[in-house]
Amino acid sequence: MSPAPATDKDPETETEHDTLKYSLLGPSLTKSGQDNVDQQKVSEIIYNASKGSKFFNNEENRDKNLTAKIEKILAKKKELEKLDLAHDIRKADDCIAELELSRDLSQSVVHIDCDAFYAACEELDRPELKEVPFSVGKGVLTTCNYHARKFGCRSGMAGFVAKKLCPQLIQVPLNFEKYTAKAQEVREIIVDYDPRFESASIDEAYLNITEYCSMNDISPEDAVQQLRREVHEKTKITISAGIAANAKLAKICSNQNKPNGQFRLANDRNVIMAFMRDLPTRKVNGIGRVFERELDAIGVKTCGDIYTYRQYISKLFGEKAFTFLMQCYLGLGRTKVQPAEEYERKSVGTESTFGDMSGHIELRDKLRQTAEELEKDMLRTQFKGRTLCLKVKLHTYEVFTRQVIPPKAIYLADDLYKFSVPMLTRLEQEFPGMKLRLMGLRCTNLVSMKKPDTMAFFGFKKRPGTDLDSSDIPDDEQLKRKADVLDKDGQWEAIPAELLFEDAERQEREEEFEELETLSQLEEVDKRRHHGKEVVPNPRKQDSPVEEWWDCPICLRPQVASEKEFNEHIDLCLSRQTIRNAVQETSGAGRPPRESTPSNKKSKTSEKSKDKTVLGDPKQRRLFFG
DNA sequence: GCGGATCAC
DNA sequence: TATGGTGATCCGC
């Protein structure tokens, strides 16, 4: 990046710095407790504290890209302005009319939000903290109390930046068990108001109190007043609440009178429309810093402005965004509230940040470690993944991801590692000598291997004589054994419902298809790797201890690799072999199977812990309310 | 379907 | 000295 010689007179540079400074203020700008803060001064301090760092440079880069993207949007809008958009206006109006038909004003939805939750929990144990500015979380603030917010401190802010804003800031370490236990107390109270309440996070929940209000002949305001009083009396936690016709509005309303307040928006179309008309777009859940800027650029500052520019929106931002924004303009949202467990999980993943790291061996050790972390999570959640995704963040803060579809759904560390190594290798080829600050693995396209009662809940029954529970085996080991047995198939019998059978059939077909896909993908990688020249060895890092040529007995290609890498290559080659055989079996075509070669077991690597874990384990959040 | 990007908490 | 982890979704290609 070229540091532009910035003269104060260059308006473009000034604008860029303004947008960058705004971006550096962080995503939680709209949070409460910032009303009387001199944002100009705060942003100046943050800017100066960050200037010159790699983080800053990356932010600057992102800001420039966004500015360029916005210029494109504006150019496109200018083109559109030359055209006759009567058709687009009519289309938008038709859509608005149709959405209007879905308006439901019969429900009372509540969003509750515990005020500075972690900080409040800490204050209960250490009352002296109430009087001083303090934050929870050290490297990065997860939250802070209202004293600290007066200085401009916010969640997501780097600890050292917060210290610049507020030198007397006290930083308290996270204690997740404490927050989980406290949240459970809150849960036990709100369940009386809606047994099917939906927890949105550890400190937030949606309730539908329509029935509660009619059963108890009480107004929504009074019911929520009572709920908040009860929560405060029994848990000493203050909460803020929003009451409205749907979840989207309730969420906005809970921010209205924070902290320790509530706000009701009447279930009245005119009232709702008037409320949305003046509401800044950023207040809506789903509109963040980027979309806010993009909308602002075309003239949309409030949800009311959306209507004015309705003829441009779908062409500039896409159909999904169009529908979403029209719903914002109209103040529409879902009225359905349901327990979080009833939502289907889409992925399981883990990632961690560490001091800059490079070198083949180190990176593979870290990958191995990451794979083992993910195995734990897969066992905990009882899923296997059909797709595996590797994520890295370079020392420059640039993020890249690569994914593969293994020949079968996987969850064991050995498999996770085996199938992610080629992705790492590929990245190393793309970015020679890359230095990483983060590595992560994630499984998607999940396949459940859930325990009996859960399966029963979803319409499966257990086959007789397959009870896997034995109380004298540790939990972890039990989960693994269950997974192993389930691996062999035939554990679960679908209740004879045609739909389920159809589903299973489709799944089998998909499995076959995915195996073929994987095969062609792997071969594609091969072609790329050996494209043109004959096996060009990677430029080796100086810190790699072994440098030798080996011939792979399976693919017969020469490999430059340490013994460890060579073993990895053999593992991969073997897995390809397995796929080929499987494809041959099903298709009846292809070459005869080769002889298989036993592969050496990878030696376990002892790991020096370079990790600088600054936050607690957010995975534990998922244990709450479920 | 893949990879980049945004968003929430 | 120095800026998080988990999960979801959307878009362009």
Nucleotides of chain C touched by protein CB (<7 A): 1-12
User: Residue A470: is its pLDDT beyond 80?
Assistant: no
Which of these, A53, A60, A52, A67, lies nearest to A24 by C-alpha position?
A60
pLDDT in tens, A209-247: 999 999 999 999 999 999 999 999 999 999 999 999 999
- Rounded to the nearest 10 degrees, how much is the dihedral formed by the CA atoms of A36, A113, A235, A622? -130
Higher pLDDT: A459 or A255? It is A255
Angle at A47 between CA A46 and CA A50, to 5 degrees: 80
CB burial readout A349-371, b (16+ within 10 A) else e: bbbbbbeebeebbbbbbbbbbbb
Confidence of residue A31 (pLDDT cuts 50, 70, 90): low
- Considering all nucleic acid strands, name the nucleotide whose C1' atom is nearest to the C-alpha of residue A30: B8
Confidence of residue A36 (pLDDT cuts 50, 70, 90): confident
Nucleotides of chain B touched by protein CB (<7 A): 1-9
Q: Residue A617 has what pLDDT?
A: 34
Give me the amino acid identity at A494.
Answer: A
Q: Residue A288 has what pLDDT?
A: 97
- The protein residue nearest B9 (Cα–C1') is A201
User: Residue A469: is its pLDDT beyond 60?
Assistant: no
Most confident of A92-101, A479-488, A535-544: A92-101
pLDDT in tens, A97-120: 999 999 999 999 999 999 999 999
- The protein residue nearest C3 (Cα–C1') is A158
User: Residue A47: is its pLDDT beyond 50?
Assistant: yes
pLDDT in tens, A144-196: 999 999 999 999 999 999 999 999 999 999 999 999 999 999 999 999 999 99
Give me the amino acid identity at A261.
Answer: G
Distance (Å) from CA A23 to C1' B9? 18
Distances (CA, A) of A104 to A194, A268, A428: 19, 10, 54
Q: Which domains does chain A have, with CATH numbers?
A: 109-132+168-267 (3.30.70.270), 344-587 (3.30.1490.100)
d(CA A582, CA A605): 33
> What phi and psi values does residue A268 have, to the nearest 5 degrees?
-140, 125
d(CA A9, CA A73): 26
Distance (Å) from CA A444 to C1' C6? 13
d(CA A406, CA A568): 15
Higher pLDDT: A387 or A39? It is A387
Q: Residue A579 has what pLDDT?
A: 40
Distances (CA, A) of A60 to A45, A407, A556: 16, 41, 48
Long-range contacts of A535-540 (CB under 8 A, 24+ apart): A535/A559, A538/A428, A538/A429, A538/A432, A539/A432
Q: Residue A557 has what pLDDT?
A: 55
List residues with CB under 7 Å of strand B: A 27, 62, 65-66, 69, 156, 200-204, 251, 284-292, 387, 389, 398-405, 514, 517, 521
User: Residue A561: is its pLDDT beyond 80?
Assistant: no
